[in-house]
Structure 1
Amino acid sequence: MRRPFAFGTRAGLAGLAAATAALAGCDIPEPGGDGGDGTATGQPTRTVTRTEPAPQLPPEPQPAGVVDACPYLPTADAERANGQGVSEVRTSAEKPHPTCFFYRPDGEVQLTTQVFTGEPDVATGIVNRAAPIDTSNPTEQPAGWSGGYLSGDDGAVYAVSKQGTAVVVTTNQSQSVKARTVATDVIATLGL
């Protein structure tokens, strides 16, 4: 049996406060549906839902200049994991971890590695941009990381985040396991 609502109790006061707060943002028409002078107000009621704004994501990384090697993924490891020779390595201008672009002998990019450190919602947004939740396969590898992967004829992507860090690897190979191997190597090398 339900107890009657009592204003003198803490529960009653808390209930009254919650009800008042819930009604505070509502548009409630005047009794009788008019503006107080007998004419219709014509003001429709509406419900407003407030959501958090999407995080401002940094632009997609772009290669800036040719370097001897990626600072966190040796060229030999990139060749081994992706199964192709590397003719050139370029990096972006981001700090502290630039994005690394590994090129094939024909001048096409075969592998990219992006590492972001910053706000957790931005890290998650970068992962979702690379491997959208609605279309990618979920992953939680390595342990403590989460994200998604996609693969197809044009290549594969493996993107994971943990707190404020995101690691995104793209490859021209259709097997996502190659991108996952590189992501795991990068995370281990940087101690993330």
Structure 2
Amino acid sequence: MRRHVLVAVPVVLLAVGCSGESGPGEGGATSSAAAVASSSVAPAQAPASPEPTANGPCPYLSDADVAQFNGQHVGKVRVSADKPHPACFFYRPNGEEQLRVQVYVGTPEVAKALVDAIAPVATSSPVTIDGGWKGGAQLTEKGSVFAVANGGKAVAAVSNQKRTIAPKRAVEKATSAMG
């Protein structure tokens, strides 16, 4: 019987020590509980997929840039309502979307979440571009993607081309336009 009492006493003391109540001179008792509570914050969510709402121009890429990078003529350009960094949608003359560029500026956590949503870490090839930008690139069922983040900034491109060089060039141009 005595053995059970000895085992139960430390458990009870441990529970009292983590309860958040401390007596005089016991100021550090809540720091572990606070650390556990703060580490259970929900992971950052990527911004919603942008939708085109108005005709262009794109502040990051010209029609000529996109025609060169993606290898197709640009019929029209539309932009999202996101301010001050709208997403840009480039369409072929037949109306099919050929390239989309999304820019995010905010927290590093959301920037990384956007990159992972476009070019998932689990499936994409790791990439870097000048200036410390890191992310991923991969072929998709409908084309290819290239997405990078640097601190609280992210730039992602989705192309209808089955080669990642097209969205890579668009991302490089957009990151340089951001400064």
- The reply on whether 1:169 has 2:157 as its aligned counterpart is yes
The residue type paired with residue 51 of structure 2 is Q
User: As a proportion of its length, which structure holds more helix?
Assistant: 2
In structure 2, distance between residues paired with 1:51 and 1:74: 44
Any gaps of 5 or more consecutive residues in structure 1?
A: 1-19, 27-47
- Corresponding residue SS for 2:129: coil
1:137 counterpart residue number: 125
Partner in structure 1 of residue 166 of structure 2: 178
Aligned residues: 150
Q: Percent identity?
A: 40
Residue 41 of structure 1 aligns with which residue?
Answer: none
CA shift, 1:52, in A, is 3.1
After TM superposition, what 4+ stretches of structure 1 lie above 2 angstroms from structure 2?
20-26, 48-52
Give the Cα–Cα distance (whole angstroms) in 2 for the partners of residues 188 and 23 of structure 1: 56
Deviation string for 1:25-67 (max 9, x for gaps)?
59xxxxxxxxxxxxxxxxxxxxx99533111432110000112
Q: 1:81 is matched by which residue type in structure 2?
A: F
Q: 2:60 is aligned with what amino acid?
A: Y
Aligned equivalent of 2:52: 63
Instruction: Indicate if the aligned counterparts of 2:46 and 2:117 stay in contact, CA closer than 8 A.
Output: no
Equivalent residue letter for 1:134: A
Q: Which has the higher contact order (CA 8 A, sep 6+)?
A: 2
Paired letter, 1:115: V
**How far off its partner does 1:152 sit?**
3.8
1:141 Cα deviation after fit:
1.6
Partner SS for 1:73: coil
TM-score (norm 2): 0.77
* Largest Rg, 1 or 2: 1
Maintained 8 Å contact 2:45/2:114: no
Contact 2:98–2:160 at 8 Å: present in 1 too? yes
Q: Deviations over 1:60-103 (max 9, x none)?
A: 10000112x21121111111110000101000001111000000
Q: 1:139 is aligned with what amino acid?
A: V
The one-letter amino acid of 1:110's match is Q
